[in-house]
Amino acid sequence: MNQLKLAMPTLRDYLLILAGAFIQALGLRLFLVPAKLASGGVSGISQFINHYTGWPIGLMVFLGNMPLFLIGWRFLGGRRFALRTAAAVAAYSLFVDLLLLLPFFPKTGITDDLFLNTLYGAVVSGIGYGLVYRGGGTSGGSDILARILNHWRGVSMSQSYLAVDGLVILAAGFVFGWKNALYALVTLYASGIVAETTLEGGGAVRTALIVTSQPETVARQILEALERGVTVLSGKGAYTGTERTVLYSVVNRSQVAQLKAIIQDADPLAFMVIGQAHEALGEGFRPLEK
């Protein structure tokens, strides 16, 4: 039984990776390739090669990632992370070419509208990326190159991604035309947002730090009206040296207006900072997964 419990998270991770790789392949085949919108990294380069030679994109993705994977193995965060990345790359490469073998698959895409291909290509691909990330892997290509540049030259991860994908989009301008390249840039940006949302979920919450002279009243109102927990912290003003009570609470986005009204009524002179957290786990929110 214990072995089964240990194996379940690993099985779940690989199922997420397979599902994500399949959805990525759908995004590429249904929207990006028919509209000549280059994706980032090795996939984009594979599209260029396919455009001139007709060689299978999936095969080119796999072959292009292999040397990067071997070089970047030590930078992929350990054996567990590296194996999941290898699984993601292999599954994605396979699905990209296998989809064309399905007799009912629309090989020329489902729309000729460049904007719709940009929009839905970003959404579908982003969901695929997010599922792969949730499974503990990456999609290879830009991810591996960014990690190599980060360790080899000390280039930040964000700058590495920008350099790698920027070069691919620049090449796309010469291969597919500059209009398509500009749309491809929008696709890359939007897919990153969708991937982040898929990875972290739609459960963004708000955190509140409240410095007040009426901590009991404010805390009671939050507990009763909002049904949210409150943590009482001790603070001290650096300028005045006055001891102050600081309340910390986490609420949903829809409860921010109520929280402001509570503070306004209880202590108009209070000081409050509202921040954003990507996710809250524990009592009152999503359960803390093991």
pLDDT tens digits, residue range 18-60?
999 999 999 999 999 999 999 888 999 999 999 999 999 999 9
pLDDT tens digits, residue range 72-117?
676 665 677 778 888 999 999 999 999 999 999 998 999 999 999 9
Sign of CA dihedral 243, 245, 248, 252: negative
Which CATH entry fits the domain spanning 205-277: 3.40.50.450, 3.30.70.120, 3.40.50.300, 3.10.20.30?
A: 3.30.70.120
pLDDT tens digits, residue range 198-256?
876 666 688 999 999 899 999 999 998 888 899 999 888 888 888 888 999 998 877 88
- Residue (of 245, 257, 255) closest to 217 by Cα position: 245
Report yes or no: 115 and 182 within 8 Å, Cβ to Cβ.
no
Report yes or no: 88 and 142 within 8 Å, Cβ to Cβ.
no
The single residue listed with the structure tokens 């459960």 is 203
| CATH 3.30.70.120 boundaries in the chain | 205-277
